Amino acid sequence: MTEAKNRVTLIGTKLAKEGLEFIYVGAVDECSGCKVKKACHNLVEGRKYRVVDVRPTTHSCSVFADGACVVEVEEAPVVALIAGDMAITNSRFVYEYACNRQECRSYDLCHPDGVNEGEKYIISQVLGNAPDECLRGRKNLKLVEILPL
């Protein structure tokens, strides 16, 4: 399996707790003149991260009232539904959304937060069968845990 790629970045001081998981959404206008913006925005937009270490260093911040804290993060696994024939531990694949039926109870698993369509992922674990029936009638869907490559 691939080794975790830890990165040092900054997040709001009140949010800086080990184990916190978040989706990086990108920079905001207030960041444009900041001297540490490159350190804050060195993550991939749309990916899910987990804080693995909180460092004592803080910086003033235009976005977070209590400033920004230096943290170490790793890419966090995402739970998703994929076709059963692709659900093999340690296999690599390109994630593509299967349908857009937002009324489906499995929609959030087929379109999970933290996954960018068209990017490559590795299956870290096969968790089991789909929790609900697919509204499109797709059979043999598997619940998997994936990580970006």
Mean pLDDT of 118-131: 94
* Domain residue ranges in the chain: 7-75, 78-148
126 contacts 141 by C-beta, under 8 angstroms: no
What is the DSSP secondary structure assignment for residue 132, as one 8-state letter? S
- What's the one-letter identity of residue 57? T
Quote the CA–CA distance of 18 and 91 in Å, as a whole number: 29
Higher pLDDT, 137 or 144: 144
pLDDT tens readout for residues 60-99: 999 999 999 999 999 999 999 999 999 999 999 999 887 8
* pLDDT score at 3: 58
Burial class (CB in 10 A: 0-12, 13-18, 19+), 79: middle
* pLDDT score at 57: 93
Beta-carbon count within 10 A of 93 CB: 17
Average pLDDT of the residues of the chain: 91
